[in-house]
Chain A
Amino acid sequence: MRAPPSTVRASKLVTNAVAVKSETASIAATKSGHELLLFEALREGLEEEMERDPRVCVLGEDVGHYGGSYKVTKGLAEKFGDLRVLDTPIAENSFTGMAVGAAMTGLRPIVEGMNMGFLLLAYNQISNNCGMLHYTSGGQFTIPVVIRGPGGVGRQLGAEHSQRLESYFQSVPGLQMVACSTPYNAKGLMKAAIRSENPVILCEHVLLYNLKERIPDEEYVCCLERAELVRPGKDVTILTYSRMRHHVLQAAKSLINKGYDPEIIDIISLKPFDLHTIGNSIKKTHKVLIVEECMRTGGIGASLRASIMDNFWDYLDAPIMCLSSQDVPTPYAGTLEEATVVQPPQIVKAIKQLCG
């Protein structure tokens, strides 16, 4: 069953619980700039790119006249027309394939999965055609598609609507994958993903759409392969992404009060990892905690731990700790769902264990 309108309203209500304003919001803490919500930032980035390049088009379910189930494309169909903001029937496999075919001729489509979990139906097109055609055609075709949509555990949406697909896509060669976590990086990554010649998966999170932040008025584009240093520190490196960034920041308040000095890095780029930024941090702190929302088995954390061990073994003073979601389908009951995902108290406990 697709996300009913009541869920959209529900996610507006829980804003405060999740929208922890980041203490060191990267750049725009000044009076200039404008304030907006994360979904508006995505829309702004999308609109700017559509104005800039007529080949950019959007397709997905209810993106046009309905304005998008999370309002990311609201108003765009009226502005750019039905062909550029295309309402598709419920046929993920086929419209993803269609986007890949269109990209082969030079168009730059953005595929919206109403929920990332639905894109499992399109896995064949994403893995085999999207990821591989540049290689198997000997470079003849480029596939500049952006595949985006909300994923992650929401508010009691049930198991099938609480999926984290970043772990499934991370080993597909030819794909690039990023996760946005604030309005600033959401807009920047959207623009960068559209401009990239490679297929990019932009992972958004259901619970972060109503995050508010002040972003610059001037145009900016983030780097798809660079991690974000959220808070410099010297005791321990905490690597995280998407919603867990906010849980980490919440835990950090408590940790700082207790005298710890964590360095918090939002890895942003899930494929490939920004080992440069991560490595520099590890060389400074010598301890690593990974906090992620995907499952423990075969998750982003599993890959990241392996990469860190391969490259920075000599700099580690302690085994790499990793906090991930439980390896279970997400239950419906609120208390159980809370227990599936990593919560701030667990992060505090882990840091105490790691740092002493």
Chain B
Amino acid sequence: MTEDILDTQSYVNNSCLQLLLQELVPTSIRVSHRLHDSTSTTGASLANSTEPTQADTQLSSVRNDLPGTVNVLESSLLNNDEVTLRIETYGYSLGLKLAEVLLYKNTTSGTKLVDILDIMKFVCRDVWKCLYNKQMDNLRTNHRGTFVLVDNNYKLIQKLNSPKGIHDTLAKSRVYLWLPCGIIRGILSSFGIESNVTAEITSFPAVTFNIHTGINN
């Protein structure tokens, strides 16, 4: 049988991941805007979907949101619940599938994951290594279901920089962090564990993930 991709591929393609992230956030914002506008006012005159998009086509109702620009991130809906929920849900479905595939690869090497601490170690070591080619820097727990994962140089946002200064960078990077939150929640959910994952930027580009589960150990 020909080489199976499940047996050969071991890392997530970094370029694909970056491209996905680049498209994910603006698309979520634009979708929210579209939904917002169609319910409130009587349909803003956005570009007709059958016309080809040109360089000066407004993509959404955000000011100056033209193709190839990042002005969409100036939107007031940037940290809207709906947008972040959508991004997090993408991460969630990604996490579910990623967990299954990575566990298949670990059948020969790793031991079984029995308790929640093993699962968190699996996230810190294998998942992070597969996604970002480095492991999580710190894992803390209070042994009562809360875990704190620290990545001192988070790859997805370390290259982000806004010309308006660090505050603007922080505000805009926060949105992107919902994707890995969803991934972690998806991985935990594939083990049958309900959880609540949030992330915060402690000092750019260090990121802290707070995970609350209902497990008491």
Indicate whether A and B interact: no
